[in-house]
Amino acid sequence: MTDSSFSGRAAIVGLGATEFSKNSGRTELRLALEATLGALKDAGIDPSEVEGFSSYSVDKVPEYEIARLLGCKDVKFFSQVPHGGGAACGPVMHAAMAVATGVAKVVVVYRAMNERSWYRFGTGTYGFASTPIFENVNYGWYMPHGFHTPAAWVGMFAQRYMHTYGATSEDFGRVAVAVRDFAATNPAAFFHGKPITLEEHQASRWICEPLHLLDCCQESDGAVAMVITSAERARDLPNKPVVIKAGSQGITSGQQIMTSFYRDDITGLPEMGVVARELYRQSGLAPDDLQTAVIYDHFTPFVLPQLEEFGLVPRGEAKEFIRAGHHARGGKLPINTHGGQLGEAYIHGMNGVAEAVRQVRGSAVNQVDDVRNVLVTAGTGVPTSGLILGAA
C-alpha cells in the first residue's frame, strides 16, 4: 500500500436498515434517520461524533437535515454521487477517502427511498420534454423509437449479448431463480418464503423482449445506512471491522446513461472493466481471492457481462458458469446471498453493500464459509462504481 492509497485505512463499523416494503407509511427523511440511528447504535458511536455524510444525488434527503436532527456539531465533509444505481459503491468510497485523509473521523453513508408508495420508479414518465438539459435531450433520440424505460434500454444490450455468445432467456432465468432462492430464506427480503422455478420465470409476462417480468428488479420503499471510520479506531468498536480494501468509479469511451449503443461492441460493460482493474490494483487481490460477490442485478442480463469484466469467467462464458450453478447456493462463487434487488429489495444497491458487510462479519442469513473478501458492484449501463470489502 502506498502512502497515497486509502486501501485498508477505513472500515465499515455500523450497519442499519429499515424494513423493505411497497408502502413504508413514512417519509424518506424518517426512513433515513431510522437507518442512520440504527447504524450508529450498531457501531457504538454517538450521533454527535458524525463529521461527514455521503449519499446519492437522486436521494431526496439532504445531509444538512440529517445532521440537524442527529445533533451533529461540525460537519466537515459531504458528497453526493450521481447516476442512480451506478452510485451504489461510490458513497462508501468517498467516505473511505475522507476518513483516510483525515478530513472527517466518522462518516455516514445512506440511501432512503419511497419508490413504490410515493411514485412508480420505473414508469418511463420522466418529464424530459419540460426540462431540456443535456441528458434529457439525449433521450430524445431514443424515446421516439420506443426506448422509454430502463428495461427497454437493457433489452437492446441483452439481445446483442445473446446473439454474440449464445446466451438464452433461460440463462437469465437461472440468475433470477438463484437470487429468489436466497431471498426465500432471508426474513428481511420482500420475497421471503417465495422462491420461483425456471418454468415460472419463463411463463412470466414479457416486459421488453428478451426481459420477462422476473428479469426485472423491484420498486421498493426502505433505507440503508452505514458508518465508516478509521481501521485503527474500528479495532476498539463492538463489531468485527469490515475493511474497505478497494473502491473505484468508472466511465469510459462512448459512455452514456443506459444508452451506450454506439460503441463498437455492446456485449460488454467497459466502464465496469475500469472499476475491476482499479479494484484489483488497489487491493492486490485477484478473482480467485473472492469468496462471494454482490453483483448489481437491476436486470438479470447484465449479471453475465459483469462476471466477465471482473475476470471471474472468460469473455462470453458466463452462461456456462450460470448453467453450472456456480452462482447459486452451494456454488463456488455464490452471488447476491441476500436475494439481490430482484428478491430482497431495490435500494439502489446500498442493501447489497450491507450484505457484503454481513458476509465479512459472518452474520449473514445465507452465510458463505470463510469469507475474507467480497466484491460489490454498482449499477450497469451507467457510470458506475465498485468495492472490495474484507476482513482485517
> Annotated catalytic sites, by residue?
296, 346
Alpha helices in the chain (DSSP H): 28-43, 63-70, 90-100, 134-139, 150-165, 169-184, 198-203, 231-234, 270-283, 303-309, 318-323, 340-343, 350-361
CA dihedral 134, 84, 75, 52 (to 10 degrees): -140
In angstroms, the CA 291 to CA 253 distance is 31
In angstroms, the CA 228 to CA 27 distance is 25
**Cis? peptide before 210, omega within 30° of 0:** yes
Bridge partners of residue 388, in order along the sequence: 246, 375
- The rounded Cα 194 to chain-centroid distance in angstroms is 22
3-state secondary structure of 18: coil
Nearest 5°: phi and psi at 87? -80, -15
Bridge partners of residue 389, in order along the sequence: 244, 374
